[in-house]
Amino acid sequence: MKRARKRVLITGGAGFLGSHLCERLLAEGEEVICLDNFFTGSRDNIRHLLPHPHFEVIRHDVTQPIQLEVDEIYNLACPASPVHYQHNPVQTVRTSVHGAINLLELAKRLGARIFQASTSEVYGDPAVHPQTENYRGNVNPIGIRACYDEGKRCAETLFFDYHRQDGVDIRVARIFNTYGPRMHPNDGRVVSNFIVQALQGEAITLYGDGRQTRSFCYVDDLIDGIIRLMRAPDGITGPVNLGNPTEFTIRELAEEVTRQTASRAGYVLRPLPQDDPMQRCPDITLARSLLGWQPEVPLEAGLRRTIAYFAETLGLRVPEPALLRVVAGR
């Protein structure tokens, strides 16, 4: 007998992206099981959801099998920032590879559709710009970022082999730089680094000369893209790029954060980390054509919301003009 509402498993559900996905699916009437080992996820991210009658939290590591009865699976379990995934690189690989196998086996048994949160890191330091889904990447397999890059590449391999061999219904998204409320303040990512440094009155750290480029997608837009891919017609497996195609230099990002926080601390230059890509920007032609999706939130507006979040979380001050714009929704 089919349930009136879907029962959805979200691994990594207490993380930055996972908590937003839990919130969104609950708001749409689904029953959500949040599974997390709380290595990088936080109970604070989901605390407001705990009273919800259709929300459940399970503390579990995806590197170990689990038996549940669900209709859909979203696999977001893996440390996603260099600070965290390089902390224990072997465990990062296990999470990507063993985790994928365990969840694919679960999906196979249940006949459930399963989503894999892959990453733009599969493209490495790209020789093609912007990156399309048919570009095979330029990844250093023995570098310090390889635990994440190659772990995610192997997870994609597993997803497509389970699809071809066992008919598992898969969806794979390659997620580009995403930012917004509930980012970890010490995750080492550029947006959170710049905002926290600026709010604390510290000089913003620029690696290299700041001319390397990134594209920044606000979390609400990204969650919308993930759900659209999961609900797309049969046969649309991906991989599909999900990210904002508007490109900024790292220095331009620093300047916008400086402007919105009224920081006067300036910048400090540091050497570029090993294997840090010089360019990263998605071609989202496929997402536009297959999903009717493209980001809507401009960087300026998304940063205002994110700065307000960090200021409240850390008990720091947002300059009055910026705060007034947030309250007014502008």
State the catalytic residues: 148
Residues in the chain: 330
Kindly give the pairing relationship between strand 247-249 and strand 213-215: antiparallel
Give the Cα separation of 245 and 225 in Å (integer).
14
Q: Is 316 exposed, middle or buried (0-12, 13-18, 19+ CB in 10 A)?
A: middle
Q: Which two tokens stand for residue 279?
A: 């360019």
Q: Which two tokens stand for residue 246?
A: 């508007």
Beta strands in 199-279 (DSSP E): 204-207, 213-215, 217-218, 240-242, 247-249, 267-270
Give the Cα separation of 240 and 288 in Å (integer).
10
Give the Cα separation of 153 and 172 in Å (integer).
11
